[in-house]
């Protein structure tokens, strides 16, 4: 073959190869990950951080079990690392045996994790789950109800205090059951709810478990349970460990002085995370 033609072909092939890789890397990760409807078939592993990560070998949480119902199945966000699925199943059974009611579960992660196009900043590596404060009704919710059921807010209309007719010792114990589980690293609740837990725990002289309960905007219908990186996930990034304090002092007061503690900043869409911003292993999951 003519040498010039050969060089031209090689340049053309190299150019096409890099061009397609650059195009893939600059795509919005949420758009790519949200279109994938199935889990990857590799071994379970969480990659990266809670807000910049992905999940291989995800397990799904069935919509119904005797002890829980998982809301809004059409969102396809009922996937997680096996540790997350196990903790939901274990805890809902524990709650049922102790209190006679099941749990209402919200979003976990998408089938292969990754950034979501709306609703959450984290929930990306299969280790986050939202749990509603409201108890599961004592019947199995039908498909339509799973999509439309609206759990109640635990806060008053002006968002400054707890609704005492809804909040009970049950909620205190529910959060404590999750927090006492060593797989759980943090639980996010509204600052007004944290304040209420502080008052109750200090009265009972047992506030040390509150170190895992972190104040955050929003989180008045549900609380957010976060697991630490599993042993099988070497490329998973933990957050720094929580400090050894109940967090009922100055930090909480700062939160309570904020104007809109009922807003969560998670609703600001993180659509602009690019595939190239995620750990390399995440790119392998979408090939």
The residues of the shown chain that bind Zn ion, judged by CB under 5 A, are 130, 224
CB of 96 to Zn ion, least distance (A): 23
Report d(CA 270, CA 115) in Å as an integer: 7
Phi/psi at 244 (5° precision):
-85, 60
Report d(CA 123, CA 29) in Å as an integer: 14
- Sole residue written with tokens 């807000």: 51
Q: Which of 207/224 has CB closer to Zn ion?
A: 224
Sequence-distant (6+) residues with CB within 8 A of 248 are 194, 195, 198, 201, 202, 207, 210
Extract the tokens encoding 197.
């837990």
CB of 124 to Zn ion, least distance (A): 11
In the chain, what are the helix, strand and coil shares in percent, each to the nearest 5?
40, 20, 45
Q: Which of 69/130 has CB closer to Zn ion?
A: 130
CB of 270 to Zn ion, least distance (A): 13
Contact 104, 135 (CB under 8 A): yes
Pairing of strands 103-105, 68-70: parallel
CB of 129 to Zn ion, least distance (A): 7
CB of 226 to Zn ion, least distance (A): 8
Q: Which residue is nearest to Zn ion (CB)?
A: 224
Extract the tokens encoding 218.
């929003």
Q: Which of 52/224 has CB closer to Zn ion?
A: 224
Contact 189, 197 (CB under 8 A): yes
Q: Which of 176/224 has CB closer to Zn ion?
A: 224
Q: Which of 80/207 has CB closer to Zn ion?
A: 80
CB of 120 to Zn ion, least distance (A): 6
Q: Which of 51/207 has CB closer to Zn ion?
A: 51
């Amino acid at each position: 073959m003519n040498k010039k033609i050969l060089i031209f072909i090689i340049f053309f092939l190299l150019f096409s190869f890099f061009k397609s890789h650059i195009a893939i890397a600059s795509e919005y990760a949420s758009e790519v990950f949200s279109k994938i409807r199935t889990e990857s078939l590799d071994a379970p592993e969480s990659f990266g951080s809670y807000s910049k990560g992905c999940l291989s070998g995800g397990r799904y949480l069935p919509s119904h079990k005797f002890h829980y119902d998982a809301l809004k199945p059409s969102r396809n966000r009922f996937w997680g690392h096996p540790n997350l699925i196990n903790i939901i199943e274990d805890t809902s059974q524990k709650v049922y045996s102790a209190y006679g009611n099941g749990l209402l579960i919200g979003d976990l992660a998408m089938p292969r994790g990754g950034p979501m196009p709306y609703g959450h900043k984290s929930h990306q590596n299969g280790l986050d789950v939202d749990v509603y404060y409201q108890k599961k009704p004592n019947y199995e919710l039908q498909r339509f109800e799973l999509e439309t059921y609206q759990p109640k807010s635990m806060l008053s209309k002006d968002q400054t205090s707890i609704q005492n007719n809804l909040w009970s010792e049950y909620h205190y114990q529910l959060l404590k059951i999750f927090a006492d589980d060593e797989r759980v690293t943090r639980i996010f609740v509204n600052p007004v709810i944290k304040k209420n837990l502080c008052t109750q725990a200090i009265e009972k002289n047992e506030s040390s478990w509150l170190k895992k309960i972190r104040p955050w905007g929003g989180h008045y219908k549900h609380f957010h349970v976060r697991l630490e990186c599993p042993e099988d996930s070497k490329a998973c990034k933990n957050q720094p460990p929580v400090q050894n304090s109940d967090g009922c002092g100055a930090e909480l007061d700062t939160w309570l002085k904020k104007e809109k503690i009922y807003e969560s900043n998670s609703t600001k869409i993180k659509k602009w995370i690019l595939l190239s911003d995620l750990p390399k292993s995440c790119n392998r999951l979408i090939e």
